[in-house]
Amino acid sequence: MEFKWLEDFLSLCETHSFSRAAEQRGVTQSAFSRRIRALESWMGAELVSRDSFPVTLTPEGRSFRETAEEAVRMIDARRAEFRHQKDSGPVIALVALHSLTVTFLPHWLTRLREVLGPVATRVKPENYDRCLEALTEGGYDFFLTFHHDAVPTPLDARAYPHLVVGHDALVAVARPNRPALWATEGEALPLLQYSRGSFLGLMAAIAQAQPGAPRVYVAHTNEASMAEAMKSMAVEGHGICWLPRRMVAPELADGRLIVVGPELPLELRLYRNAARGRGLTNRVWQAASQLSADYAKME
C-alpha cells in the first residue's frame, strides 16, 4: 500500500468527483482511478460507489475515511516534527501528566536550562496511560509523573530508570463556609470525583480511605479527569476535591480554598527510556540527577 493512495482517497472524499480529485492530485483521471482501485484491492473492499454522481462512499468507505484521515494526520505531524528537529537541532522529548505541565514542569525546565544552557524542548501533556504509551512506544525520552507506592508504575526498572525530582501531596480542598448549594446527606460532604480508572482518581481513592478523611457522597463526576477543571468546580463551591497541593497553593494562600482532610504524600518522578541514549538525552539525565540530589539536600 502506498501512502499517496490514502491522500488520493481523501481527495475523492472531499470532491466527490474523479476528475476534480485527479486534477487536485496532479495526475490523469485514468491514473487516479487505477490508484483508487489499487487501494480498494489492497483493503479487500469497495470504498466508493461509481453508480452515482457525485461519487458517494460505500459503508466501508465511510468507515475507512476516518482511519485514513487519522493516518495521514499522524504521518504529516511526525514528518513536520522530524523536519523541525533537523532545522533546530536536538530536542528533549518529554511527556507529562497535564497537571504537572502547569505546576512543576515550567520551573524545573528553568533550573535544567541553568545547568545545561539553552536547549529545545518538546512537551506532550497527556493522561497517565497515554504517557506510558508515549514513553514506551511513541518516541519520547522522559516521562514526568506522580508516584505513590500503593499504585505501582508498570515499567521495568532497568529499561525505564527513574529519579525523584520533587514532592507534592494530594489534599482534600473545599470552598470555606459551606455553600447553600451543597445538598445535605447526613454529615457527608459532596465529592467532586474523577472518572473511574483515571490515575488521579486512583490516588484520590487512596487518600479518601485514610483515617480522618471526610465522609463524602458523589455529587459530580468529571469524565475527562482534568485537575484544573476540578479545581474550578471546587473554587465555585460545588464540593470537595482531592487535588495536588502545588496546583491549589494560590487558592489556599488567599483563602478561596481550605484543606478539609489529611494529605497523601506523593513523589514526583522523572522516568527515562534507557533505549534512547543519544548525547543530549544523557546530558539531560545527568543534569536532572544533579538537580534531584540538590533537592534532596534541601529537604
CATH assignment at residue 26: 1.10.10.10
Burial category of 233 from C-beta neighbours within 10 Å (exposed 0-12, middle 13-18, buried 19 and up): middle
Claim to verify: residue 97 and residue 158 sit in the same structural domain: yes
Q: What's residue 280's pLDDT?
A: 84
Domain count for the chain:
3
The 10s digit of each residue's pLDDT in 252-296 is 999 999 999 999 999 999 999 988 777 888 889 999 999 888 777
Claim to verify: residue 31 and residue 49 sit in the same structural domain: yes
Q: What is the pTM of this model?
A: 0.69
Rounded Cα–Cα distance for residues 279 and 299 (Å): 31
Claim to verify: residue 161 and residue 271 sit in the same structural domain: yes
Q: What's residue 264's pLDDT?
A: 96
Claim to verify: residue 110 and residue 173 sit in the same structural domain: no
Give the pLDDT mean for 28-52. Answer: 91
Examine the fold and report which residue of 68, 86, 104 is the final residue of a domain before the chain moves on. Answer: 86
Q: What's residue 186's pLDDT?
A: 59
Residue 89 pLDDT exceeds 60: no
The 10s digit of each residue's pLDDT in 41-62 is 999 999 998 887 888 899 999 9
Q: What's residue 66's pLDDT?
A: 87
Claim to verify: residue 76 and residue 130 sit in the same structural domain: no
CA 254 to the chain's CA centroid = 30
Domain assignment of residue 182, given as a range: 168-265
Claim to verify: residue 220 and residue 255 sit in the same structural domain: yes
Q: What's residue 297's pLDDT?
A: 67
Claim to verify: residue 77 and residue 134 sit in the same structural domain: no
pLDDT band with cut points at 50, 70 and 90 for residue 180? low
Give the pLDDT mean for 55-82. Answer: 83
Rounded Cα–Cα distance for residues 171 and 72 (Å): 43
The x, y and z cell numbers of residue 12, run together, are: 475523492
CATH assignment at residue 226: 3.40.190.10
Q: What is the mean pLDDT of the chain?
A: 88
Q: Are β-strands 91-97 and 120-126 bridged in parallel, bridged antiparallel, or unpaired?
A: parallel
Claim to verify: residue 39 and residue 58 sit in the same structural domain: yes
Claim to verify: residue 136 and residue 280 sit in the same structural domain: yes
How many angstroms separate the Cα of 157 from the Cα of each of 95, 101, 162, 265? 18, 24, 8, 22
